[in-house]
Structure 1
Amino acid sequence: MKQLLQKEILSVLLLLFFFYGRAQEGKVLDIIIQGNNKTKTSAILKHIYTEQGNVLDSLALERDVKRLKRLPAIAHAYYQVHNKEGGYEIVYGVEENFTIIPSANIYTTNDDEFAFRVGLYEFNLLGQNITFGGIYQNDIYSSFGANLRAPYLFGKRLGLALNYSNLTTEEPVFLENGIADYKYNNTSYEILGLYQFNFQNRIELGVNYFNEDYEYKRGVTAEGIPQDFDVNKLLFKLIYEYDNLNYDYQYVSGFKSTFNLQYVISTENVLPDFVIGWNDFLYYHRIGKKGNWASRLRMGLATNDDSPFAPFAVDNNLNIRGVGNTIDRGTGVIVLNTEYRQTLYEKDWFVLQSNVFVDGGSWRNPGGDFDDFGDSQNFRIYPGIGLRFMHKKIFNAIFRIDYGYGVTDDATNGFVFGIGQYF
Structure 2
Amino acid sequence: MKYITALILLFTTLVNSQENSVADLKIQGNKRLKTSFVKKISQIKQGVKLDSALIEADIRLLKRLPSIAHAYYQVFPANAPNQYNVFYNIEENFTIIPSANVYTTNDDEFAYRLGLYEFNLFGQNITFGGFYQKDIFDSYAINFRAPFLFSRKLGLAINYQDLTTLEPVFFDNTTADYRYNNASIEALGLFQINFTNRIELGLNYFTEDYLYQSGATNPEVPQELRVKKLLYKAIYEYNNLNYTYQYVEGFRSIFNFQYVHSTEDEQLPDFLIGWNDFQYFKRLGKKGNWANRLRLGLSTNNDTPFAPFAVDNNLNIRGVGNLIDRGTGAIVLNTEYRHTLYEKNWFVLQGNAFVDAGSWQNPGGDLSDFVDSDNLRIYPGIGLRFIHKSIFNAIFRIDYGYGITPNATNGLVFGIGQYF
**TM bucket, shorter chain:** over 0.9
Q: Which residue of 2 aligns with 1:218?
A: 214
Q: Is the 8 A contact 2:382 2:399 kept in 1?
A: yes
SS in structure 2 of the partner of residue 377 of structure 1: helix
Q: d(CA) in 1 for partners of 2:346 and 2:298?
A: 42
Provide Cα deviations, 1:394-422, integer angstroms capped at 9, x if missing partner: 00000000000000011000000000000
Query: Are 1:111 and 2:107 counterparts?
Result: yes
Q: d(CA) in 2 for partners of 1:23 and 1:100?
A: 49
Query: Are 1:327 and 2:327 counterparts?
Result: no
Q: Which residue of 1 aligns with 2:260?
A: 264
SS in structure 2 of the partner of residue 21 of structure 1: helix
Unaligned runs of 5+ residues in structure 1 are 1-5
Amino acid at match of 2:45: E
Q: d(CA) in 1 for partners of 2:255 and 2:176?
A: 32
TM-score by length of 2: 0.97
Provide Cα deviations, 1:16-41, integer angstroms capped at 9, x if missing partner: x4454235461111110000000000
Q: Which residue of 1 aligns with 2:33?
A: 39
In structure 2, relative to structure 1, the CA distance for the partners of 1:156 and 1:408 (3 Å cut) is same
In structure 2, relative to structure 1, the CA distance for the partners of 1:19 and 1:48 (3 Å cut) is farther
Query: Are 1:281 and 2:275 counterparts?
Result: no
In structure 2, relative to structure 1, the CA distance for the partners of 1:11 and 1:332 (3 Å cut) is farther
Amino acid at match of 1:392: K
In structure 2, relative to structure 1, the CA distance for the partners of 1:81 and 1:182 (3 Å cut) is same
Q: Is the 8 A contact 2:139 2:163 kept in 1?
A: yes
Q: d(CA) in 2 for partners of 1:306 and 1:343?
A: 46
| Count of matched residue pairs | 417
SS in structure 1 of the partner of residue 408 of structure 2: coil
Provide Cα deviations, 1:91-137, integer angstroms capped at 9, x if missing partner: 00000000000000000000000000000000000000000000000
Q: Is the 8 A contact 1:23 1:55 kept in 2?
A: no
SS in structure 2 of the partner of residue 241 of structure 1: strand
Residue of structure 1 aligned with 2:117, choices 104, 110, 121: 121
SS in structure 2 of the partner of residue 46 of structure 1: helix
Q: d(CA) in 2 for partners of 1:370 and 1:14?
A: 75
Amino acid at match of 1:112: D
Q: d(CA) in 2 for partners of 1:89 and 1:277?
A: 47
Q: Is the 8 A contact 1:25 1:88 kept in 2?
A: no
For the aligned residues, what is the CA RMSD?
Answer: 1.6
In structure 2, relative to structure 1, the CA distance for the partners of 1:214 and 1:156 (3 Å cut) is same
Amino acid at match of 1:328: D
TM-score by length of 1: 0.96
Q: d(CA) in 2 for partners of 1:20 and 1:367?
A: 73
Residue of structure 2 aligned with 1:65, choices 59, 67, 71: 59
Q: Which residue of 1 aligns with 2:399?
A: 402
Q: Which residue of 2 aligns with 1:179?
A: 175
Provide Cα deviations, 1:263-306, integer angstroms capped at 9, x if missing partner: 00012331000000000000000000000000000000000000
Residue of structure 2 aligned with 1:188, choices 184, 190, 200: 184
Provide Cα deviations, 1:324-371, integer angstroms capped at 9, x if missing partner: 011000000000000000000001100000000000010000001110
In structure 2, relative to structure 1, the CA distance for the partners of 1:19 and 1:46 (3 Å cut) is farther
Q: Is the 8 A contact 1:118 1:135 kept in 2?
A: yes
Amino acid at match of 1:83: P
Q: Is the 8 A contact 2:227 2:266 kept in 1?
A: no
In structure 2, relative to structure 1, the CA distance for the partners of 1:14 and 1:417 (3 Å cut) is same
